[in-house]
A and B are shown apart, each in its own frame.
Chain A
């Protein structure tokens, strides 16, 4: 039962983007297209799960004083793996994501999970926690990038979905559109959250 809660909490109740407001850099920067959002989400899932598991395995060996540099080294290893994988297999996607794949190293969701969870918990739980948080992050990116791609380009995954009459809202493809749509989504979620807890 406990492992179930550890997994499920990252999806919604402690969703890294919508509830913890973490990882804003990729959230705002790569959500112009749904494909970018999914790719970034999956990359983070892989890095998060792999580094959480590894760090949890070695949690008793890592000295407290140098835990941050150690985490960074482990995370960076997996980020380089993802980066090279994308460059080799999906060069177009890799170019579109630009510097935001290497920047996963300093993504505060990943660092936060190591500090708050996997450095203190057994391997199985750390794995589940990382998986839940990663999927929660991916879900958030999917929601945000679906809204932005439909309104900003009139397409979904590159296919036109809104027909000829639609004039794309250029602002949604630009950085202000990311802030606007994230703000509106957060507002709506908070409103419902308030109502359900009352």
Chain B
């Protein structure tokens, strides 16, 4: 009999990094397919550009630093896919490529690579683009003709911009349209059903923790109902849940294991903070959408939340 002497850990999970990353990408597929179908070929170009740009940037950084090239784990690809999903589908492609470069270089590699970044790289890339090209990043459109090669688009405001009272507040956007993704918006955020299904699968597979999405959804619902039932024509909670990038953010970005708290209590705190910030930015801030900024702001609080919610070791004293 062969005896093997090893140090702990003795039990290893079969879940590896690249399995996690590719599962997340698989769960994003329904929303992605819908985005490409609805916004036509330009959305596909956007997706390819972002993915190529993030992967190539990662390779360059690893080569320059003479470290093993680890694009096989899929994390750079996932960043690229997520970035494409939060950008307007008709964005000039060189801007998308720049966003991917910034996301990986300033968002991840300068901090030391995967696992050391403070902010969600995809959202950081988008925040950089948002600050650099505010006009292009807020120009939305829906395809003008139902043809695959058409790049014509009609510029239209997003449901959030047409419904929020601080902008015009004249229309209640039909919820079915929001649910089935028949409205202008970022490439990957429009198809609510796909995002919900993908997110639930992610949670069922225990890859994403249910606490952050649940806390964010509850907070958003409760807080927006307070305004809905008391205030002057604020949009309904259902609208808040389905419009904009909330579902994508809550299920796929706020569950990123690197930039969100690792304690169970901390995850509740993160979700509540995120939901509350979204409602306040949407209703009272200068922008129609607040999902990106609320996740980035909560990312910056993550180390603090981790420190304050660290569970006591058995027999430890406060």
- Interface residues, chain A, with chain B CB atoms under 8 Å away: 167, 169-172, 174, 176, 180, 187
Task: Give me 11 A-to-B residue pairs in the complex whose CB atoms sit less than 8 angstroms apart, sorted by A's number.
Answer: A167-B133, A167-B136, A169-B132, A169-B133, A170-B131, A170-B132, A170-B133, A171-B128, A172-B132, A174-B131, A176-B131
Count how many pairs of residues, one from A and one from B, have CB atoms less than 8 Å apart in the complex.
Answer: 18
Interface band, chain B: 10 to 19
- B134-163 interface bits toward A, Cβ cutoff 8 Å, 1 = contact, 0 = none: 101000000000000000000000000000
Which residues does chain A contribute within 8 Å of B106, judged by CB atoms? 180
Kindly state the separation between the CA atoms of A169 and B101 in the bound complex, as whole angstroms.
14
- Interface residues, chain B, with chain A CB atoms under 8 Å away: 92, 95, 106, 110, 128, 131-134, 136
Which residues does chain B contribute within 8 Å of A174, judged by CB atoms? 131
Closest B residue by C-beta to A151: B132
Q: Name the 4 nearest CB pairs between A and B, nearest first.
A: A171-B131, A169-B132, A171-B132, A170-B132
Q: Nearest chain A CB to B35's CB is how many angstroms away?
A: 24
Which residues does chain A contribute within 8 Å of B92, judged by CB atoms? 167
Which residues does chain A contribute within 8 Å of B131, judged by CB atoms? 170-171, 174, 176
Which residues does chain A contribute within 8 Å of B134, judged by CB atoms? 170
Closest A residue by C-beta to B110: A187
Closest B residue by C-beta to A152: B132
Among B95, B110, B132, B133, the one with the most A-chain Cβ atoms within 10 Å of its Cβ is: B132
Which residues does chain B contribute within 8 Å of A172, judged by CB atoms? 132
Which residues does chain A contribute within 8 Å of B132, judged by CB atoms? 169-172
Kindly state the separation between the CA atoms of A180 and B133 in the bound complex, as whole angstroms.
16
Kindly state the separation between the CA atoms of A172 and B128 in the bound complex, as whole angstroms.
10
Kindly state the separation between the CA atoms of A170 and B133 in the bound complex, as whole angstroms.
6
Closest B residue by C-beta to A174: B131
Q: Nearest chain A CB to B139's CB is how many angstroms away?
A: 12
Which residues does chain B contribute within 8 Å of A167, judged by CB atoms? 92, 95, 133, 136
Closest B residue by C-beta to A172: B132
Kindly state the separation between the CA atoms of A78 and B92 in the bound complex, as whole angstroms.
50
Closest A residue by C-beta to B64: A191
Closest B residue by C-beta to A165: B94
Which residues does chain B contribute within 8 Å of A171, judged by CB atoms? 128, 131-132
Which residues does chain B contribute within 8 Å of A169, judged by CB atoms? 132-133
Kindly state the separation between the CA atoms of A176 and B133 in the bound complex, as whole angstroms.
14
Closest A residue by C-beta to B102: A180
Kindly state the separation between the CA atoms of A187 and B134 in the bound complex, as whole angstroms.
28
Closest A residue by C-beta to B131: A171
Among B92, B110, B131, the one with the most A-chain Cβ atoms within 10 Å of its Cβ is: B131
Besides A167-B92, A167-B95, 9 more A-B contacts (Cβ < 8 Å) are A167-B133, A167-B136, A169-B133, A170-B134, A171-B131, A172-B132, A174-B131, A180-B106, A187-B110
Kindly state the separation between the CA atoms of A176 and B127 in the bound complex, as whole angstroms.
11
Kindly state the separation between the CA atoms of A170 and B131 in the bound complex, as whole angstroms.
6
Which residues does chain A contribute within 8 Å of B133, judged by CB atoms? 167, 169-170
Q: Nearest chain A CB to B65's CB is how many angstroms away?
A: 9
Kindly state the separation between the CA atoms of A170 and B129 in the bound complex, as whole angstroms.
9
Kindly state the separation between the CA atoms of A19 and B205 in the bound complex, as whole angstroms.
50
Kindly state the separation between the CA atoms of A171 and B128 in the bound complex, as whole angstroms.
7
Closest A residue by C-beta to B133: A167
Q: Nearest chain A CB to B301's CB is how many angstroms away?
A: 19
Kindly state the separation between the CA atoms of A174 and B95 in the bound complex, as whole angstroms.
18
Kindly state the separation between the CA atoms of A174 and B133 in the bound complex, as whole angstroms.
12
Which residues does chain A contribute within 8 Å of B136, judged by CB atoms? 167
Which residues does chain B contribute within 8 Å of A180, judged by CB atoms? 106
Kindly state the separation between the CA atoms of A176 and B131 in the bound complex, as whole angstroms.
9
Q: Nearest chain A CB to B195's CB is how many angstroms away?
A: 29
Closest B residue by C-beta to A167: B133
Kindly state the separation between the CA atoms of A111 and B184 in the bound complex, as whole angstroms.
57
Kindly state the separation between the CA atoms of A167 and B93 in the bound complex, as whole angstroms.
13
Kindly state the separation between the CA atoms of A166 and B92 in the bound complex, as whole angstroms.
12
Q: Nearest chain A CB to B72's CB is how many angstroms away?
A: 26
Which residues does chain B contribute within 8 Å of A187, judged by CB atoms? 110
Kindly state the separation between the CA atoms of A167 and B110 in the bound complex, as whole angstroms.
26
Q: Nearest chain A CB to B66's CB is how many angstroms away?
A: 12
Q: Nearest chain A CB to B226's CB is how many angstroms away?
A: 34
Kindly state the separation between the CA atoms of A152 and B84 in the bound complex, as whole angstroms.
24
Kindly state the separation between the CA atoms of A171 and B134 in the bound complex, as whole angstroms.
9
